[in-house]
Amino acid sequence: MVVTSTPKKLEWWPSPAKLNLFLHINGRYENGYHQLQSLFQILDFGDELAFEINTSGKITLANPIEGVPDQDNLIVKAAELLKNQSVLNTQQPPVIDDTLGCHIHLKKRLPMGGGIGGGSSNAATTLVALNKLWNINLQQPDLAELGLTLGADVPIFIHGKTAFAEGVGEILESIELAETYYLVVFPNCHISTADIFKHADLPRNTAKINFNDYKFDNTHNDCQELVCNLYPNVANTLHWLLEYAPSRMTGTGACVFAKFNRHQKALNIQALLPKGSVSFVAKGLNISPLYTHMQS
């Protein structure tokens, strides 16, 4: 008789996308990073991750990402970073628990280099999940601080609430937005955030706004004009969407989004997109599905 073991049921953790509903660049810090004001909208659409913990001391990926060596994958970097926070005793120097291991599964749906935070969100989900599964028990602000060392967009996903942002994107003030649906279109070009922030023509002197005065119409994305000049696909996609609804680029691109009050309207416009377009319709959430999952 052949005995087959039943495959273990994996627990899938959400890794949602974000949009920058606006992105103002107010200046530049001495280390080259930019001083921003933004509104991060968390979406109900994203990747999913599952974590099989073990005692091998190794972090391995079931689904490596083509073109991204495992040691550069933000999932692996986040797991390694957290592992270094595991202290077995109170002695100095502290002893790290190097038996902590994990085999990580990824369902990738978010286009990379899209300005919707895919890699950062994967890193945040890894930190939040392994903090629990490895019993490291760091508090949320400590996890966010750790996440910031991986990328400016990681803290918002750990914060887990739609929020205004300042600093490099790590000073967060939660806000509740009315129910809105977004048609997000990926114009088939991968844009390097570093290249846009380095560009000589990027405007860097928008005056700071008072968040209480926020309206979509009185804000903008300072990277949009430059990216549209460099990438005609982004300009054309944005131009197309603007015929139907208020629309804007997110982050440093490449994705552009259009805002709708009704889900069906967003779906109707999606159906009109040119054949072959990569797009999704998502609902804006005030609370991240990662936290809804944690509490379930």
Ligand X SMILES: Nc1ncnc2c1ncn2[C@@H]1O[C@H](COP(=O)(O)OP(=O)(O)OP(=O)(O)O)[C@@H](O)[C@H]1O
As measured in angstroms, the least distance from the Cβ of 3 to ligand X is 36
Question: Is the separation of the CB atoms in 162 and 20 below 8 Å?
Answer: no
Segment 86-115, which members bind ligand CDM (CB under 6 A)?
A: 115
Q: Give whichever of 191 and 266 is closer to ligand X, judged by the CB atom.
A: 191
| Residue 119 annotated as binding site | yes
**Residue 35 or 268: which CB sits closer to ligand X?**
35
- CA-based R_g, the chain, Å: 20
Neighbours of 121 (CB within 10 A): 30
Classify strands 59-61 and 278-285 as parallel, antiparallel or unpaired. Answer: unpaired
Q: Is 36 in the site for ligand CDM (CB under 6 A)?
A: yes
Beta-sheet pairing, 101-107 with 34-54: antiparallel
288 among annotated binding-site residues: no
Nearer to ligand CDM, 143 or 269 (CB): 143
Q: Which is nearer to ligand CDM, 191 or 269 (CB)?
A: 191
Is 38 one of the annotated binding-site residues?
no
Q: Is 118 annotated as a binding residue?
A: yes
User: Candidates 31-39, 41-49, 75-83, 125-133 — which segment interacts with ligand CDM by CB under 6 A?
Assistant: 31-39
9 among known catalytic residues: no
Position among 197, 214, 216, 244 found at the interface with ligand CDM (CB under 6 A): 197
Which among 37, 42, 43, 41 has a CA at the least distance from the CA of 221? 37
Q: What is the number of the residue whose Cβ is closest to ligand X?
A: 119
Q: Is 296 helix (H, G, I), strand (E, B) or coil?
A: coil
Establish if 162 lies at the interface with ligand CDM (CB under 6 A). Answer: no
Helix, strand, coil % in the chain, rounded to nearest 5? 30, 30, 40
Residue 153 annotated as catalytic: yes
Question: By the 8 A CB rule, do 17 and 46 touch?
Answer: yes
Work out whether 12 is an interface residue with ligand CDM (CB under 6 A).
Answer: no
Q: Is 86 exposed, middle or buried (0-12, 13-18, 19+ CB in 10 A)?
A: buried
Residue 29's alpha-carbon distances to 25, 32, 120, 165, 225, in angstroms, are: 11, 5, 21, 16, 22
DSSP β-ladder status, 278-285 and 171-174: unpaired
Nearest CA-CA partner of 285 in 158, 182, 147: 182
Q: Are 218 and 24 in contact (CB under 8 A)?
A: no
Pick from ligand X, ligand CDM, none: which does 143 bind, CB < 5 to 8 A by kind?
none
- Residues numbered 128 to 147 that lie near ligand CDM (CB under 6 A) are none
Question: Annotation-wise, does 196 bind a ligand?
Answer: no
Q: Which residue is nearest to ligand CDM (CB)?
A: 151
> Which listed residue (18, 77, 83, 259) is catalytic?
18
Q: Which CB, 37 or 120, lies closer to ligand X?
A: 120
| Residues in CB range of 112: below 8 A, 6 or more apart | 65, 118, 119, 190
Greatest CA span in the chain, whole angstroms? 74
Name the active-site residue from 47, 153, 222, 259.
153
Residue 194 contacts ligand CDM per CB under 6 A: yes
Instruction: Choose the binding region for ligand CDM from 30-38, 41-49, 90-98, 124-132 (rule: CB under 6 A).
Output: 30-38
Positions that interact with ligand CDM (CB under 6 A): 20, 23, 32-34, 36, 38, 115, 120, 151-153, 168-169, 193-194, 197, 251-252
Active site residues: 18, 153
